Structure 1
Amino acid sequence: MTTPQRIVIIGAGVGGLATAARLAHLGHQVTIFEQTNQVGGRNRHEQVNDCTFDGGPTLMMMLDPFRKLFTDLGERMEDHLDISLCDPSYRVFFRGHNTIDGTPNVARMLAQIESQISAEEAAKYPKFLGDLAELYHTSIPNFVRTNYTNPFDIISPIQLARVIKHNMLGNLAKRVNRTFRDERLRMLFSFQTMYLGLSPYDAPWVYGTLTYMEYGEGIWYPKGGLPAISDAIAKLAIERGAKIQLNSPVRRINANSIELMSGETIPADIIVSNADLPTTEENLLAKPRRTKFRNSCSAYCLYIDYAGDLPELLHHNVVFGKDYKGNFDSLFNAKELPSDPAFYAAISSKTESSRAPAGHSNLFVLIPVPHLEHPWSESDEDIIKEKVFARLAEISSFDPSKVRAMKQRTPRDWQTELGLHQGAAFGISHDLFQSAFFRPKNQSKSQKNLYYVGASTAPGNGLPMVLISAELLERRLNLASMTRAKSLSNASDRNKLGSSFPPQDWGGQGGVDLNKNLELNEHPTTEVKT
Structure 2
Amino acid sequence: MLNPTGKINKKDVAVIGSGFAGMSASAVLAANGTQVTVFEKNSNTGGRARSFESNGFVFDMGPSWYWMPDVYENYFNLFDKTTSDFYELKKLDPGFAVVFGESEVMDIPADFNEICELFESIETGSGIKLRMFIKEGEFKYRVGMGEMVFKPGHSVSEFFSLKLFKDALQIQLFSSFSDHVRKYFKNPRLLAIIEFPVLFLGAMPKDTPALYSLMNFAGLKQGTFYPMGGFGKVADAFKTIAENEGVNFKTSHIVDRLEINAGSISHLHSNGNSHQVDAIIGSADYHHIEKDLLPEYLQSYDDSYWSARTFAPSCLLFYLGVSKKIGKLRHHNLFFDEDFEQHAVEIYKEKKWPTNPLFYVCCPSKTDPSVAPEGSENIFVLMPIAIGLPDSEEIREEYYNALMKRLEKFAGEDITSHVVYKRSYSVSNFISDYNAYKGNAYGLANTLMQTAIFKPKMKSKKVKNLYYAGQLTVPGPGVPPSIISGQIAAKELLKFLKK
* TM-score normalized with structure 2 length: 0.92
1:186 is paired with a residue whose SS is helix
- 1:98 is aligned to 104
- 2:369 is aligned to 353
Alignment of 1:60-459 (within 5 A): 60-95=66-101, 97-115=103-121, 117-154=122-159, 157-255=162-260, 256-287=265-296, 289=299, 290-291=302-303, 292-293=305-306, 294=309, 295-372=311-388, 374-396=389-411, 397-459=413-475
8 Å CA contact retained: 1:254, 1:286:
no
Q: Write the letter of the residue equivalent to 1:426.
A: Y
Q: Write the letter of the residue equivalent to 2:333.
A: N
Cα distance change on mapping 1:455 and 1:356 into 2, 3 Å = same
Give CA deviations for 1:479-530 in whole Å, capped at 9, x if unaligned. 599xxxxxxx79xxxxxxxxxxxxxxxxxxxxxxxxxxxxxxxxxxxxxxxx
Alignment of 1:471-482 (within 5 A): 471-478=487-494
Q: Write the letter of the residue equivalent to 2:477.
A: N
Give CA deviations for 1:160-198 in whole Å, capped at 9, x if unaligned. 322333433211112112211110000101111134242
Give CA deviations for 1:140-175 in whole Å, capped at 9, x if unaligned. 224312122322323654433223334332111121
Cα distance change on mapping 1:3 and 1:167 into 2, 3 Å = closer
- 1:526 is aligned to none
Equivalent-residue separation in structure 1 for 2:270 and 2:168 (angstroms) = 47
Give CA deviations for 1:83-117 in whole Å, capped at 9, x if unaligned. 111121101101353221223412211232233x1
8 Å CA contact retained: 2:153, 2:458:
no
**Corresponding residue to 1:55 among 47, 56, 61:** 61
1:451 is paired with a residue whose SS is strand
Equivalent-residue separation in structure 1 for 2:164 and 2:195 (angstroms) = 25
8 Å CA contact retained: 2:320, 2:420:
yes
Cα distance change on mapping 1:249 and 1:401 into 2, 3 Å = same
1:36 is paired with a residue whose SS is coil
What's the C-alpha RMSD, in Å, of the aligned pairs? 2.0
Comparing 143-152 and 7-16, the one that deviates more: 143-152
Cα distance change on mapping 1:480 and 1:139 into 2, 3 Å = closer
Q: Write the letter of the residue equivalent to 2:55.
A: N
Specify every segment of 5 or more residues in structure 1 that has no aligned partner in the other structure, as ranges: 482-488, 491-530
- Aligned-pair CA distance for 1:76: 2.4
Equivalent-residue separation in structure 1 for 2:274 and 2:363 (angstroms) = 44
Comparing 402-411 and 391-400, the one that deviates more: 391-400
Equivalent-residue separation in structure 2 for 1:195 and 1:331 (angstroms) = 10
Give CA deviations for 1:350-376 in whole Å, capped at 9, x if unaligned. 11101100111011111101111x333
**Identity %, equivalent residues:** 27
Give CA deviations for 1:256-313 in whole Å, capped at 9, x if unaligned. 3444442211100011111111111111113363252222221111000112211211
8 Å CA contact retained: 2:396, 2:424:
no
Alignment of 1:486-497 (within 5 A): none
Give CA deviations for 1:50-75 in whole Å, capped at 9, x if unaligned. 11111100011112221222222222
- 2:4 is aligned to none
- Aligned-pair CA distance for 1:33: 0.9
Give CA deviations for 1:366-405 in whole Å, capped at 9, x if unaligned. 1101111x33333321221122111101211352111112
1:119 is paired with a residue whose SS is coil
Equivalent-residue separation in structure 2 for 1:420 and 1:440 (angstroms) = 15
Equivalent-residue separation in structure 1 for 2:407 and 2:205 (angstroms) = 25
- Aligned-pair CA distance for 1:444: 0.9
Equivalent-residue separation in structure 1 for 2:292 and 2:461 (angstroms) = 16
- Aligned-pair CA distance for 1:454: 1.1
Cα distance change on mapping 1:121 and 1:69 into 2, 3 Å = closer
Count of aligned positions = 481
1:126 is paired with a residue whose SS is helix
8 Å CA contact retained: 1:412, 1:423:
yes
Cα distance change on mapping 1:257 and 1:231 into 2, 3 Å = farther
* TM-score normalized with structure 1 length: 0.87
- Aligned-pair CA distance for 1:315: 0.8
Equivalent-residue separation in structure 1 for 2:163 and 2:69 (angstroms) = 27
- 2:3 is aligned to none
- 1:502 is aligned to none
Q: Write the letter of the residue equivalent to 1:432.
A: L
- Aligned-pair CA distance for 1:332: 0.7
Equivalent-residue separation in structure 2 for 1:197 and 1:404 (angstroms) = 34
8 Å CA contact retained: 2:21, 2:482:
yes
Equivalent-residue separation in structure 1 for 2:360 and 2:277 (angstroms) = 42
1:478 is paired with a residue whose SS is helix
Equivalent-residue separation in structure 2 for 1:443 and 1:402 (angstroms) = 50
Cα distance change on mapping 1:237 and 1:480 into 2, 3 Å = farther
